[in-house]
A and B are shown apart, each in its own frame.
Chain A
Amino acid sequence: MKRLLLILSFALVLAACDNTVDPVLEDADVRYAVHGFLDMRTDRQILRIESLRPTILAEAGAMVGVDVVVAEEGTGVRHVFRDSSATASDGSPLTLFVASFRPQAGRTYRLEAGRPGELPLVATTRIPMAPTLQFGNVTGTLENLEQVLFLTGIEGVPEGVTMYYTVTPPAQDDRVTIPVRYGRLASGPVSDLNFSVSYTSDRFVVMNALRLNSDTPGVRLGRIEMSVDLPSPEWRLVQPGNIQRGHGQFASVGRYRYSWRLDRPSVEILGWIDEQAGE
């Protein structure tokens, strides 16, 4: 009993003398934060990865020797990223990791970042699948010509919808493609969405882009397309929960393009000449 009391007293004295404090959690396996997303819209994928800093005033740690690989689940294809130095708009240094590939719809990608011998940061994301596009009838006159479109089977929140009009200006041979952005069509996740394409308004934007008056004749319509960007569920979440042994945000964006033929009477209502394929 005496010995126990002696040991307890000694422990108390030791504890009382200890005056240091280490506020940084010693989790040796959590070293990095990743910010970025895999993007179906481009062949060049960029991720920003940094070492966690012990204080706000500490310089960002060097990323030399950190291997960053994205593997496509199912096929096992591995994409190795190369590190690259960059500078943020405020002049602070960034380390970006770049790889050349275009992710595929519906595929799941697994990111691993770490030095050899370390347990790496692991994060996964799945490219949303393509929704199905269906069409309603074209209605209205030159003042309000529109068509309702139906997107079904949407995964996530449609982030960006853009119409593309490929036209040939009067007395020219070269076609130009004019984008008309519709922006976000929903503020939260939806599975089905219907929205109206206003050909009248879009015509105004297109003619403006061509620096023509709205009623200028001779414009030839070659193609109508629409793209929909679908971010993965991790988009806009503070704590997405898809990252192990690390922090940040890792997501993906699917982009899907659809084209269709606007019927000739409608094209003529717009004052354009129909040169769409398939007639």
Chain B
Amino acid sequence: MSFPLRRSLAAVLLILSLTTVTAAAQNATIRGFVTDVSDGQPLPGVNVVLTNAAGELYGNASDTDGFFAISRVPAGTYILRATYIGFQEHEQEIRLVADEIQTVRIQMRVEETELGEVVVEGARETVGAANVTAGLQTVRPADIALVPAPDISADLVNYLTALPGVVSQGDRGGQLFIRGGEPTQNLVLLDGMQIFQPFHVVGFFSAFPSDIINTADVYAGGYGGKYGGRLSSVIDITARTGNKQRPVGAVTVAPFVSSVRLEGPLLPGKVSFLASYRKSVIEQGAAKIIDEPLPFSFDDAFAKIHANLGQSAQFSVSAIRTNDSGRLGINPLNEDSDGITQDEVNWVNQAVGSRFIFLPASLPVFAEILINYSTLTNEFGPSGNPERSTEASIFNFQSNVTHYVGNNNFNWGIFLSSSQLDANLGGLFQNLDVQTEFITEGGAYLEPEFKPTPGLNIQPGIRLQSFPSKSASFLEPRLRVVWNTGIHRLSAAGGIYHQEITGLNDRRDAGDIFTAWSAAPFGIIPEAKHLIAGYRIEPNRWVRMSAEGFYKDLTNLNVPEWTAFPRFTTNVQIADGTARGLDLRLEIGATEAFQTTISWGRSNVEYQTTARALQLLTGDDEVAYAPPHDRKDQLNVMTNVQVKGFNFSVRWQFGSGLPFNESLGFDRWIMLDSLAVITEEPGQERVLYGRPYTGRLPTYHRLDVSLDREFRVGPTTFLTVQTGLLNAYDRRNLFYLDLFTLRRVDQLPLIPTLGLKLEYK
């Protein structure tokens, strides 16, 4: 969808100027930030309501930054009430005069217990697994805490894999497939910084421990104009800010990971820091417990400094570094004394970024400026002698602005990025000559949010992406619609998406998670069209149900070519695809004492290609096949019960078998030419594939349980003891079967865990 860039930019600027003029002419606006008085943390999801003597109500909810804005409020005197579960209601009188823009700070206090105990930290509300709206699932640490995990500090990825439509490779590999998309088609942001490969080599962990998360918005598709450059999904994580009142911290010890977190004020009430470091101890811990080699290690470090610059501005700097190493697959051509050598994969993410948010005094506007820089290095091959490597870096600038005009919001933004991509494919894709590439991307988006009637929210959007270095531009329409009516919520979303920077990997081999980042091969840019429709019902406060269907139409995907050649080299070929499915969620429970979530996802992913090699192999003009992440059915059951301070969590997950390649056998292949001497040449070992991915691995299912209890060991010091069982009935779930040797690599067996967390709150 290329079109003249100048004309589009002019149109965007015109609409924005009209919006600003309109906004300035409205009645009073009240806005501000809601924080927890005990630590200065922003509180998202707080209901802020203005009531006047006539009983008229004006309200809004705070966002991830704790920011709220209520505009077009007639002048007068109001009672402002802010309510949030676990916190005392905040109430204050507000006087608004015409055309005034008033900024307030709401500081909420945690509720005291009936026994009058001092509570040092308020219970934060869960969003709920069934609270999905047009593909968007918001996740908060309280949600993550419901899922049993091997680490006493929960991790975002553990929650994500409990969502329907999210397929993981299991306990190892760190690859997430969201509603038919591939891992490289997910845009993962932490405080606006792009993290190329954010999930650790052990599937329970990501670069995002629960302790550092404020909220995570997971768009399984249909995301708005603010996001682009990826085909499948967006995971937008906002990190917590450090405690602005007093120093706090935690130390954990568990068989998989040990961690330390420190936070506190640098300038009390104004500037805080948060630092977190985790390091895997799998080889020293879990591997000893099960007496089985678990050759994985990783660590991640995160730091954030956050400053309140008065009532109307905030500034933060974040930085993260992750480091992963592991041996997953088997490369029979690199033999050691045992005849088998596993390839090793290593990757390092690094990112640093700043975020400045401010509220212009004379405009009902929320503005955000993000500047960040991210890098990834990734290597794969025999240990110490990697055959493949890639380096990617991106410098990104983005500005997002929201104008509040009565019930309507006008969101717009501009962005500019510059990427450097380099890869040594080690001959993996022979038809690609990957060189160092520099890609510049610029563009803008406009996304008004209309609320024509109570409960109805219509958010049409348009995003312009331009790649001057590639002489390509795209205009991407977006739409999100949400209609709340009584106990019902109907929602829909759709859009067109392009991905110029693509990840190339050889999915024929489950043990090969090496991903090379490059510009779209052959100048053919992959495109996706999303369509999502959902329904949610909350008949009473105990039960919530949702159903959401999705359809993704994918074109110009880069997939490994299927040939009768040996697997170690191949070509990239172009394929199209579709992903469609239905996610059902049922959530029962309204209190912390009992919560159960049952989710079921049914999906079908299919790729189609007219590649010559597959035509020759199959005899068909077009070959359709299920890619290796096509999990047809996925069921998750999670229950969390709290009794007398004990917190018991159980999770059972079931997934139908993933596709894999069946082989017809092996031969030793000789290319017949004038030099071939068939009586002497040993020939080249070759696997003979059938049609792609005709086999199905056995079903995957596993039960995890955990029990924890927090003990107060000092006025503000707590010790949490967690015990649990991973894979409680010791299911032998298959991770990897090497076709060359028929050697089987299973996922983690039954592992008992015991974790300790000492926390100073």
Footprint of B on A, CB under 8 Å? 15-16, 18-21, 23-25, 27, 30, 33, 35-37, 46-48, 50, 52-58, 86, 88-90, 92, 94, 96, 159-160, 184, 229, 231, 234-236, 238-239, 241, 247-249, 251
CB < 8 Å neighbour of B666 from A58, A86, A89: A58
Contact A247 B682 (CB under 8 A): no
* Contact of A24 (CB < 8 Å), options: B339, B665, B680, B731: B665
B673 and A35 contacting across the interface, CB-CB below 8 Å: no
B102-110, B226-234, B686-694 - the one binding chain A: B686-694
Minimum CB–CB distance for A250 against chain B, Å: 9
Q: Which listed residue, A19, A52, A57, touches B698 by the CB 8 Å rule?
A: A19
CA distance A52 to B667 in the complex (A): 6
* A55 & B699 in contact (Cβ 8 Å cutoff): no
By Cβ-Cβ distance, the 8 closest A-B pairs, closest first, are A52-B665, A33-B667, A88-B682, A56-B740, A90-B682, A239-B616, A25-B662, A53-B666
Pairwise interchain contact A184-B679, C-beta atoms closer than 8 A:
no
- Contact B664 A24, beta carbon cutoff 8 Å: yes
- 19 A-B contact pairs sorted by A residue (CB < 8 Å): A23-B662, A24-B662, A30-B664, A35-B678, A52-B667, A52-B688, A53-B666, A54-B666, A54-B742, A55-B739, A55-B740, A55-B741, A56-B740, A57-B741, A88-B680, A89-B680, A96-B678, A239-B564, A247-B667
Q: Is the CB of A23 within 8 A of B685?
A: no
Task: Decide if B688 touches A235 in the complex (CB within 8 Å).
Answer: no
Residue of B nearest to A183 (CB): B674
Q: Contact at A23–B740, with CB atoms within 8 Å? A: no
Given contacts A23-B695, A52-B688, A248-B667, contact A35 B683 (CB under 8 A): yes
In the complex, are the beta carbons of A35 and B662 less than 8 A apart? no
Cα(A234)–Cα(B671), bound, Å: 10
Say yes or no: B739 contacts A249, CB within 8 Å: no
User: Taking the complex as formed, is B360 at the interface, i.e. its CB lies under 8 A from any CB of chain A?
Assistant: no
Nearest CB in chain A: distance from B518 CB, A: 26
Give the residues in chain A near B734, CB-CB below 8 Å. Answer: 19, 21
- Are A25's CB and B664's CB within 8 A? yes
Closest B residue to A90 using CB positions? B682
Interface of A, secondary structure class, is loop
> Counting CB contacts under 8 A, is B544 at the interface?
no
Chain A residues contacting B666 (CB-CB under 8 Å) are 52-56, 58
Number of chain B interface residues as a range: 35 or more
Given the known A-B contacts A53-B666, A238-B563, A247-B667, are A37 and B699 also in contact in the complex, defined by CB atoms under 8 Å? no
Once A35-B678, A89-B680 are accepted as A-B contacts, the answer to whether A18 and B698 lie under 8 Å apart by CB is yes
State in angstroms the CA–CA spacing of A24 and B738 once bound together: 11
Per the 8 Å Cβ criterion, residues 114-170 of B in contact with A are none
Q: Give chain A residues whose Cβ lies under 8 Å from the Cβ of B654.
A: 16
B-chain residues with CB within 8 Å of residue A92 when the two chains form the complex: 668, 682
User: CA A229 – CA B740 in complex, angstroms?
Assistant: 38
B residues 644-669 near A (Cβ < 8 Å) are: 654, 660-669
| CA A44 to CA B687, docked complex, whole Å | 31
Whether B76 sits at the interface, judged by CB under 8 Å, is: no
Q: Which of B560-574 contact A (CB under 8 A)?
A: 563-565
Given A238-B564, A239-B617, A23:B672 Cβ within 8 A: no
Residues of chain B within 8 A of A184, CB atoms compared: 674
Q: Looking at the complex, which one of B667, B672, B679, B694 makes contact with A235 (CB distance below 8 Å)? A: B672
| B478 within 8 A of partner (CB) | no
> Are B741 and A56 in contact (CB-based, < 8 A)?
yes
A2 to B416, CA, bound (A): 61
B761 contacts chain A at the CB level, 8 A cutoff: no
Given contact pairs A16-B699, A96-B679, A54 touches B672 in the complex (Cβ within 8 A): no
